[in-house]
């Protein structure tokens, strides 16, 4: 039976400026330096078997994300050993990345990404609560075929997507904050920048304020929806 080391981690400055591939390489290098017996892919250029629950965009902080490190098949692991690996990995990660916990998980089950159902974000920028309240006051008939349309790039093309069905909850908080809960994962996923883009187009949020928004992913849900 394959076993994975399931890591809960956070990302803050300066690591928020790492792109996804850079995050992958950073963890691969740190796992090797921590001497965690990671499994490798087959083929001409084998790579450590690491899997993030949900890739995170450049500039976004996170307080509660997940990463699976698949262990080599011959590895004998227990909770004490998992704790030791977690501590060693923390010593080898760069500034801004921190492991919050490490547990053992069945590596032969569903992929970590397939378990993700929802995400929660904390958004901070000038004028955000007023824009969110205006959004909440919009009376959009459920039968309206247009919905809350936002343009996004998909496979080299610009397409319009309705973000309304992807939003589970949004709550304004003073002075300049909002909490956004959305569907997330491999099947349905709403990026927070698309939500801000809609607020600019339909709810009066300043375009510069939207671009300067501080975005923090505060939680991921694995399994059932919140």
Residue spans of the domains in the chain: they are 3-109, 115-222
The Cα 16–Cα 57 span in angstroms is 8
* Residue range 80-98, pLDDT digits in tens: 999 999 999 999 999 999 9
pLDDT at 49: 94
pLDDT(37) > 80: yes
Is the CB of residue 164 less than 8 Å from the CB of residue 147? Answer: yes
Q: Domain 3-109: which CATH class?
A: alpha beta
pLDDT-derived band at 165, boundaries 50, 70, 90 = very high
The whole-chain average pLDDT of the chain stands at: 92
State how far the Cα of 51 lies from the Cα of 43, in Å rounded to an integer: 18
Helices (H) and strands (E) in the chain, counts: 6, 10
Continuous H helices in the chain: 20-33, 79-92, 112-115, 128-137, 192-202, 207-211
Q: Are 89 and 24 in contact (CB under 8 A)?
A: no
For residue 226, what pLDDT is reported?
A: 87
Please report which helix (H) or strand (E) contains residue 51, including its range: strand 50-52
Lowest mean pLDDT among 23-32, 67-76, 169-178, 184-193: 67-76
Task: Please give the pLDDT value at position 109.
Answer: 80
The pLDDT assigned to 108 comes to 76
Higher pLDDT among residues 127 and 145, named by residue:
127
CB burial class (10 A; 0-12, 13-18, 19+) of residue 115?
middle
More confident residue, 187 or 131: 131
Give me the mean pLDDT over the 160-189 stretch.
94
């Amino acid at each position: 039976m394959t076993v994975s080391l399931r890591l809960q981690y956070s990302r803050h400055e300066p690591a928020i400026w790492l792109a996804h591939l850079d995050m992958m390489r950073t963890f691969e290098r740190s796992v090797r330096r921590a001497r965690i017996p990671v499994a490798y892919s087959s083929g001409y250029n084998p790579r450590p078997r690491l899997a993030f629950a949900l890739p995170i965009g450049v500039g976004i902080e996170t307080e509660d994300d997940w990463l699976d490190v698949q262990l080599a098949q011959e590895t004998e692991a227990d909770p004490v050993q998992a704790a030791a690996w977690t501590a060693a990995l923390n010593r080898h990660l760069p500034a801004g990345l921190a492991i919050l916990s490490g547990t053992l998980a069945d590596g032969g089950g569903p992929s970590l990404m397939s378990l993700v159902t929802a995400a929660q974000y904390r958004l901070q920028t000038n004028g955000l609560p007023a824009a969110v309240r205006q959004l909440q006051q919009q009376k959009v008939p459920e039968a309206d075929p247009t919905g809350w349309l936002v343009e996004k790039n998909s496979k080299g093309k610009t397409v319009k997507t309705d973000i309304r069905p992807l939003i589970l909850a949004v709550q304004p908080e003073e002075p300049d904050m909002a909490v956004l809960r959305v569907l997330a994962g491999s099947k349905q996923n709403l990026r927070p920048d698309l939500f801000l883009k809609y607020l600019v187009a339909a709810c009066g949020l300043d375009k510069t304020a939207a671009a300067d928004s501080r975005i923090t992913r505060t939680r991921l849900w694995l399994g059932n929806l919140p």
